Structure formats: structure tokens, C-alpha cells
């Protein structure tokens, strides 16, 4: 029941808004309700109980074993919490919308509902379908309310993601058909049992995993498929970028953790090297590209692509430390990138440009924005005290000690870890340079009287930063319910 509220509250609010209820207030109320419900769910989750709790099932096609089946374990709860927090702050920091206000909030709410549904689905079909709920709203958000080269960016992200999701669909169909006809099911729990007893056809497993990796990879902006992300995030209005980069992109990673690894562990091992090479591309290549950016929004876009590399590294390790780190980093990165895009959106609203050469010294007229941007940038680099640090440490330790099979594998992981550590230096370089270019130095005279963030708008950004700090200082609070689920979901005898 709790989960149904989480999914349908935004949808109802969106429809109410479209039908004439005050759009902003309805959206805020719905996201506040969702935040509260998510917190209740996290608190009432029984760590000793079964993996999936709050389960609700409604049969759709019994003969296909397809049903609307939602529930949450520790991993999905963490993602649901992330969605609720980011949605709430994204709706709150939304600037006044002049054109088609109802539709704007409806789009945001639909993206949120889609993400919630995807994270809460235990049924493969709805897991996939809910994610796609966000596709058209994203297209509209960027195309109507975006800035700069918004039309090209909207087309690119939409068609790229549509293509990726159909590749993913093929992988999921393959997975469903990979077991003998009598046992086929869309229930992820059922599939896990089948996988554990070796019922998934090993011959097709490698192909299916590759399809899933490419499909999810496109959605996550894995290295050669990442070009849609920076432009889209740069052009998107701030709340859309927050939701997409912070929450929606995590769907692919969540899918790898929830579907690909537990069901096809041997295939995952088979493709580890490919993944290592691609993720180094994410970290090093995209990191260098981020350094060369001349605009804050593009740089943030590339930084978000780059950080996916660390999460991939955690996933590639296939061990407890790394996977927990990856899951936790998804949470941390979602919060920090959302905070960064929120600040960038506020800057754009005031200065109408985000090019580094036009900005400078803005910490003087806007001390609060400068302060939170600094904190979020530190978090993004991975400084201790923030959740990003705690999770990256787990990823690196996990990767360094990963030695599947020994030999070349061992070497590959060592090498990848070392290169990924250099990535931290890269992200420090571009983040600090951006900070200097935007907030330090001489203030151009025309920016002298820019107003700082309104008091009421400080809350949502502070909420993001506070959560990051809390999770950085007390990671055990989260790992306590995350770790058993990650273990249960991904650790079978086969691993």
C-alpha cells in the first residue's frame, strides 16, 4: 500500500494539476507526501524480515505470469528515498513558469512517478514500462522550457534513450524466454530462484547480458553511448536536469544490480573486461573532456557522465564491498549532482549565461549559493565527510581486492582501480577550476548586485546537502538495510 501511494500520488497530482488545481502547490504537496511516505517506509522496513516487503500484487496476465507487482527491499528503498528527496527539492526550486505551467509540473511529477514505479517494481515488465513513463515528459521539459540549444538536445536524448530502451527490451525478452516455457515468469524473485537453480539457459546468457549491458548502458551514459547526456543536461531546465541526472539515470544501474547481475552472474563475469575498458573510458576520457569545458552546465553534464564510471567499477567487482559501494554511490551521486544542477539553475536565472569567461567572483554577491556549490562540489569530488567519499572508498577497496580467477583478471582490476583513482584527481581539477571561475576572483561590475538565494529556496538545496553529510558521517544507517538486500539479491553460490 505504501508503495502504491508513492507511485500514484505524483500521477494523481499531475492529473489534478492538468485539470486546474493550482499546479505548483499540488506538486509540492504531492512530493512532500511522498517524502514522508518514503521515510515511513524506510523506518518501518524490517531488516530481519523477507527481502521484499510492502508487496502488493495485482494479476494482469496470469498465463504469462505477468502482474503489477511492487514492493521494496533495502536497495529499492534507498533508491525510492533518493527519488523522494530529489523530487521534493526539484519541485521546490522550480522557478516561476511563464508558459504552460500546468504541463511543466505534470511533466516533473510523471518523471518522478516513473522512477518510483521502476524502482519499486518486482515485475520485469512494469520495471521496464515505468521507466519509459519519463521519456515524453523529458522531451517536453527540455524542448519547451529548456535553454540554449534545447531542440537538438531534446531530440538527441529522446531518440537515443528510445533506441536504448528497445535494446533493453530485447534483453528482457531474452531473459524471459531464457528459461523453459513452463517456468517463465516476469517476477524477479521467481527468476532469481530459477537462476539459482541453474534453469536459465547458459548458452544464451552471454548474449542476453550483452543486450542488457548495452541497453542499460545507453540509459546510464556508459562510455561510447554517453553523448546524449551532457548536452541534454545543459539544455534542460534545472529541475528536469536534477531529476534526470540525479534519479532517472540511476535506473540503468539499478537494473544492472537488480536484474543483470543476480540472474546472469557467469555472463557478468564473462563481460567484465569489456565493462572495465568502457568504464575507464567513462572516467578518464569523459573526465578530460569535462576539464576542457567552457561552460558550467556542460561541465556538470560531463561530470555526471564521468561519475557513472565509479559506479560501474563497483558493479564490475562482483563482490560485497564493491556492490554496496556502487549502490551507495548511486544514492550519493544522485544527491550531489541534483544540488549542483539546482545551483547552476539559480545562477542561470540570474546571469543568463553559464560561460566561465563571463562569470567570476559571484561568492561575494551570493554567499549562500557559493557556499552550497562549494559543498556540493566537494561532495562530488569525494572529500571525506560526504556520502560520496564513504561509497567511493567501498568501491575502490572492492575493486582493488577483486581477483576473480586471478591472473589477468587481477591485473585488469588493479589497473582499472589505479586509473579510476586518477579520475578523482581529474574531478578535483575541473570542479575546483569551475568553482574558481564562477565564485572567486573579480566580480564583473554588472553582477555586483545580484540577489542571493531567497530564504525559502535555501531549504531544498540544504536538504540535499544535509542528507549527503548525514550519509557521509553515518553510512551505517543506510548500509544496515542496504547490505543484506545487496547480498541477497546478488550473491548466490555461483558467484
Partner 1 sequence: MIPAIYLEAFVLTLGILLLLVEAFSGKEDKTPLAWMGIAGLGVVFILTFFTANDPTSQAEAAYWGFYQADFKALFFKRFALLTTIVVLIMAIEYKGVVQKYIFGSKPQAGLGEFYALPILTCAGLMWMASAVDFIMIFVSLELVTISFYILVAYMRRNTRSLEAGVKYLILSALSTGFFVYGITWVFGVTGHTNLGQIAAALPHLRAARGALMFGFMLVLVGLGFKIAAAPFQLWVPDVYQGAPTPVTAFLSVGSKAAGFIVLMRVLEVFLSVPWMVRKVTTVIVALAALSLLYGNLAAMPQLNLKRLMAYSSIAHAGYLLIAVACIGEGGGAELAISFYLAGYLLMTLLTFLVMIVVANHSEGDDIHHFNGLSKRSPYLAFGMLVAMASLAGIPLTVGFFGKFLVFYVAYERGQFLLIGLGVITVAAGFYYYLKVVQAMYWREASDKTPIRMAPLTKGTIAALAFCIFLFGVYPAPIMRALEPPPPDTPRMAAR
**Binding region for partner 1 (CB under 8 A):** 18, 60-65, 68, 100, 103, 128-133, 135-136, 139-140, 143-144, 151, 155, 158-159, 162-163, 166-167, 169-170, 173-174, 177, 181-182, 184
Q: Which is nearer to partner 1, 66 or 437 (CB)?
A: 66
Q: Which is nearer to partner 1, 167 or 240 (CB)?
A: 167
Q: Which is nearer to partner 1, 103 or 391 (CB)?
A: 103
State how far the Cα of 472 lies from the Cα of 424, in Å rounded to an integer.
17
Nearest to 168 by CA among 113, 220, 242: 220
Smallest gap, in angstroms, from Cβ of residue 422 to partner 1?
A: 36
Q: Which is nearer to partner 1, 197 or 494 (CB)?
A: 197
State how far the Cα of 386 lies from the Cα of 376, in Å rounded to an integer.
9
State how far the Cα of 416 lies from the Cα of 276, in Å rounded to an integer.
7
Smallest gap, in angstroms, from Cβ of residue 18 to partner 1?
A: 8
Side-chain-side CA neighbours of 356 within 13 Å: the count stands at 19
Answer positive or negative: Cα dihedral of 68, 121, 188, 72. Answer: negative
Smallest gap, in angstroms, from Cβ of residue 327 to partner 1?
A: 25
Nearest to 190 by CA among 55, 317, 77, 318: 55
- DSSP codes of every residue in 61-99: EGGGTEEEEEEE-HHHHHHHHHHHHHHHHHHHHPPPP-S
Smallest gap, in angstroms, from Cβ of residue 97 to partner 1?
A: 13
Smallest gap, in angstroms, from Cβ of residue 153 to partner 1?
A: 12
Q: Which is nearer to partner 1, 18 or 469 (CB)?
A: 18
Q: Which is nearer to partner 1, 207 or 351 (CB)?
A: 207
Smallest gap, in angstroms, from Cβ of residue 223 to partner 1?
A: 20
Smallest gap, in angstroms, from Cβ of residue 129 to partner 1?
A: 4
State the burial class of residue 349 (Cβ atoms within 10 Å of its Cβ: 0-12, 13-18, 19+).
middle
Asked if 302 contacts 429 with a C-beta cutoff of 8 angstroms, the reply is no
Q: Which is nearer to partner 1, 179 or 311 (CB)?
A: 179
Phi, psi of 45 (to 5 degrees): -70, 130
Amino acid at each position: 500500500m505504501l508503495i502504491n501511494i508513492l507511485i500514484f500520488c505524483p500521477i494523481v497530482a499531475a492529473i489534478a494539476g492538468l485539470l486546474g488545481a493550482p499546479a505548483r502547490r499540488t506538486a509540492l504537496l504531492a512530493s512532500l507526501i511522498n517524502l514522508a511516505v518514503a521515510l515511513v517506509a524506510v523506518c518501518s522496513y524490517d531488516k530481519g524480515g523477507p527481502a521484499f516487503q510492502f508487496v502488493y500484487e495485482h494479476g494482469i496476465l496470469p498465463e504469462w505470469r505477468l502482474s503489477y507487482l511492487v514492493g521494496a527491499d533495502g536497495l529499492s528503498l534507498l533508491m525510492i528515498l533518493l527519488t523522494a528527496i530529489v523530487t521534493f527539492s526539484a519541485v521546490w526550486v522550480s522557478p516561476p513558469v511563464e508558459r504552460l505551467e500546468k504541463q511543466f509540473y505534470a511533466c516533473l511529477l510523471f518523471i518522478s512517478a516513473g522512477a518510483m514505479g521502476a524502482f519499486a517494481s518486482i515485475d520485469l515488465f512494469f520495471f521496464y514500462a515505468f521507466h519509459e513513463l519519463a521519456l515524453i515528459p523529458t522531451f517536453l521539459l527540455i524542448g519547451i522550457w529548456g535553454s540554449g540549444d534545447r531542440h537538438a538536445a531534446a531530440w538527441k536524448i529522446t531518440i537515443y534513450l528510445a533506441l536504448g530502451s528497445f535494446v533493453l527490451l530485447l534483453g528482457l525478452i531474452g531473459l524471459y524466454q531464457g528459461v523453459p516455457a513452463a517456468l517463465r515468469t516476469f517476477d524477479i524473485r521467481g527468476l532469481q530462484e530459477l537462476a539459482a537453480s541453474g534453469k536459465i539457459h547458459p548458452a544464451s546468457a552471454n548474449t542476453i547480458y550483452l543486450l542488457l549491458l548495452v541497453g542499460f548502458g545507453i540509459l546510464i551514459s556508459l562510455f561510447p553511448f554517453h553523448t546524449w547526456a551532457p548536452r541534454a543536461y545543459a539544455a534542460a531546465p534545472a529541475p528536469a536536469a536534477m531529476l534526470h541526472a540525479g534519479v532517472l539515470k540511476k535506473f540503468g544501474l539499478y537494473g544492472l544490480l537488480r536484474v543483470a547481475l543476480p540472474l546472469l552472474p557467469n555472463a557478468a563475469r564473462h563481460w567484465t573486461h569489456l565493462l572495465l575498458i568502457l568504464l575507464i573510458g567513462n572516467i578518464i576520457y569523459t573526465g578530460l573532456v569535462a576539464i576542457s569545458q567552457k561552460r558550467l552546465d556542460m561541465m556538470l553534464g560531463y561530470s555526471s557522465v564521468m561519475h557513472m564510471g565509479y559506479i560501474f567499477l563497483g558493479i564490475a567487482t562482483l563482490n560485497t564491498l564493491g556492490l554496496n559501494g556502487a549502490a551507495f554511490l548511486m544514492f550519493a551521486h544522485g544527491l550531489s549532482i541534483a544540488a549542483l544542477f539546482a545551483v547552476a539553475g539559480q545562477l542561470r536565472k540570474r546571469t543568463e549565461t553559464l560561460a566561465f569567461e563571463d562569470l567570476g567572483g559571484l561568492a561575494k554577491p551570493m554567499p549562500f549559493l557559493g557556499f552550497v556549490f562549494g559543498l556540493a562540489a566537494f561532495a562530488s569530488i569525494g572529500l571525506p565527510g560526504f556520502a560520496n567519499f564513504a561509497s567511493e572508498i567501498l568501491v575502490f577497496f572492492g575493486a582493488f581486492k577483486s581477483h576473480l580467477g586471478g591472473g589477468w583478471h587481477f591485473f585488469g582490476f588493479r589497473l582499472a582501480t589505479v586509473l579510476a583513482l586518477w579520475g578523482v584527481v581529474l574531478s578535483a581539477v575541473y570542479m575546483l577550476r569551475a568553482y574558481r571561475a564562477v565564485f572567486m576572483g573579480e566580480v564583473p561590475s554588472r553582477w555586483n548586485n545580484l540577489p542571493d538565494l531567497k530564504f525559502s529556496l535555501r531549504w531544498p538545496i540544504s536538504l540535499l546537502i544535509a542528507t549527503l553529510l548525514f550519509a557521509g558521517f553515518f553510512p551505517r544507517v543506510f548500509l544496515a538495510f542496504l547490505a543484506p538486500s545487496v547480498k541477497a539479491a546478488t550473491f548466490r553460490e555461483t558467484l
